[in-house]
Amino acid sequence: MPGIEEVRAAIALVNQKMQEGIAALQQGNLALDEARAALVPATQGSTQEEMQHAHGSLAEVMQVISSVQAQISATINATEGYAGRL
């Protein structure tokens, strides 16, 4: 069974990886926002249902990414609390 310091070190590594994941998701969201910004003027005035769907889908994906980032942050807080109580 690992000792307390080993557990804390493992948790610190896990949290670092989760922080890297959050940063990657932020980069992804930035890229998607750039895509959205380019799509809006390119399809402005279009009444095609598929374009309306594309706009909605892109906004939904960006919201899901933000939600995932919040869940990861909550997980980091939980693991840090656990490590602090060891």
Tokens at 18, concatenated = 């989760």
Kindly report the pTM of this predicted structure: 0.86
**Structural domains for the chain:** 4-85 (1.10.287)
Beta carbons within 8 Å of 52's beta carbon, 6+ residues apart: 46
- 10-residue stretch averages of pLDDT, the chain, 86 residues long: 91 98 98 94 85 92 98 98 94
